[in-house]
Amino acid sequence: MEKITKEKVEAFIPKRKRDSYKGTYGRVLFVGGNQNMGGAIMLSASAGLHSGAGLVTVATHSSNQAALHTRLPEAMFLPMEDLNQLEEKIDSMDVIVVGPGLGRDTLALNVLQTVYQTAGKDQLVLVDGDAIYLHVNEKLPETEASLIFTPHLGEWRTMTGLPLDEQYLETNQEKVKELNAVVVLKKSRTEVYYEEEVWQNTTGNPAMATGGMGDTLAGMIGGFVAQFDDNKKAVLSAVYLHSYIGDELAKTQYVTLPSHIIEKIPFTMKEFTKTAGKLSFI
């Protein structure tokens, strides 16, 4: 098992190109947030934007529209209930993050079915939160898209049937192979199962144990894969930076809110490119 370290992540984060524009940094669609959990998808989308995604659209329940526009004017809105609009939008996206606060009802299932059916082989779908639950418990069409799952230990138990005390590296690897996907197994030292490789995070702390923290990580991963050339480097960097920021904040904060992490993402990315205090592009 390889460790994700600061030195590696410093080398992974790309410098922005002088001749670039928002389209260069990816189009990301965030899908989730029912009437009770709009905050989950807003945190996720906010994390994606603060991570550098060029264009962010949020497909969420209509009741969340005003809150989304108030909290995150940079994001575009799409009513999640309109499956035709959702299908049309998916076509032009690079990355789709689905699941935070999605719920588990019929609408949620229809939304996830639409995402799986519509996403193509050049697209990447990150499956988190309630979308993991639905993936395991409901009948869904095969998708052509590449998949990243981001389960916490409870969700991984649901996905694999493995009780916590049987979740060894080897048993996990077998399950990952069956899934044919990348798995980010979230815990105090998060593990990334990427093809044959397993990476272990070296940052993170219990001040981060706050609702919405995983939604935030999903958004960071979505934002990073949309703009990095290499998906593996993107996933590893997001996992590391999310918890690195958590560790920095925990030096002065007893508890860390997801929105505190989100605010720090652009500053920490700048620090990691070792160009702090300079306007440095390539």
User: Contact positions toward ligand ADP, by CB under 6 A?
Assistant: 129, 152, 186-188, 190, 204-206, 208-209, 211-215, 217, 243
| Nearer to ligand ADP among residue 75 and residue 184 (C-beta) | 184
Q: Choose the one of Mg ion, ligand NPW, ligand ADP, none that binds residue 37, judging by a C-beta under 5 to 8 angstroms depending on kind.
A: ligand NPW
Q: Choose the one of ligand ADP, ligand NPW, Mg ion, none that binds residue 8, judging by a C-beta under 5 to 8 angstroms depending on kind.
A: none
| Nearer to Mg ion among residue 129 and residue 223 (C-beta) | 129
Which parts of 150-250 are beta strand (E)?
182-185, 191-194, 197-201
Encoded one letter per residue, x for contact with ligand NPW by CB under 6 A and - for no contact, window 92-131 reads -------xxxx--------------------------xx-
Please choose, out of 63-71, 177-185, 208-216, 244-252, the segment that lies near ligand NPW by the rule CB under 6 A: 208-216
- 67-70's contacts with Cβ under 8 Å and 24+ in sequence apart are 67/38, 67/42, 68/38, 68/42
Which of residues 215, 216, 224, 226 is near ligand NPW by CB under 6 A? 215
Query: Least distance to ligand NPW from the beta carbon of 133, Å?
Result: 6
Which of residues 9, 13, 40, 192 is near ligand NPW by CB under 6 A? 40
Asked if 125 and 116 touch (Cβ cutoff 8 Å), the reply is yes
Classify burial at 162, counting beta carbons within 10 Å of its beta carbon; exposed 0-12, middle 13-18, buried 19 or more.
middle
Q: What are 2's two structure tokens? A: 């390889």
Which single residue brings its beta carbon nearest to ligand NPW?
A: 154
Asked if 223 and 52 touch (Cβ cutoff 8 Å), the reply is yes
Query: Least distance to ligand ADP from the beta carbon of 255, Å?
Result: 11
Assign 27 to helix, strand or coil: strand
H helix intervals, the chain: 6-12, 38-50, 65-71, 83-91, 106-118, 130-137, 153-160, 169-179, 213-227, 231-250, 258-272
For the chain, give the longest Cα–Cα distance.
52
Query: Least distance to ligand NPW from the beta carbon of 156, Å?
Result: 9
| Nearer to ligand ADP among residue 120 and residue 206 (C-beta) | 206
Applying CB under 5 A, what is the total number of residues that bind Mg ion?
2
Following CA atoms 183, 83, 46, 216 in sequence, which dihedral angle do they give, to the nearest 10 degrees? -30
Classify burial at 218, counting beta carbons within 10 Å of its beta carbon; exposed 0-12, middle 13-18, buried 19 or more.
buried
- 40 among annotated binding-site residues: yes
Distance CA 190, CA 19 (A): 36
Query: Least distance to ligand NPW from the beta carbon of 204, Å?
Result: 12
Positions in 147-186 near ligand NPW (CB under 6 A): 152-155
Positions in 193-252 near Mg ion (CB under 5 A): 214
- 152 among annotated binding-site residues: yes
| Nearer to Mg ion among residue 83 and residue 208 (C-beta) | 208
- 186 among annotated binding-site residues: yes
Q: Choose the one of ligand NPW, Mg ion, ligand ADP, none that binds residue 130, judging by a C-beta under 5 to 8 angstroms depending on kind.
A: ligand NPW
Distance CA 265, CA 91 (A): 28
Token match 């309630």: residue? Answer: 130
Token match 């190109």: residue? Answer: 17
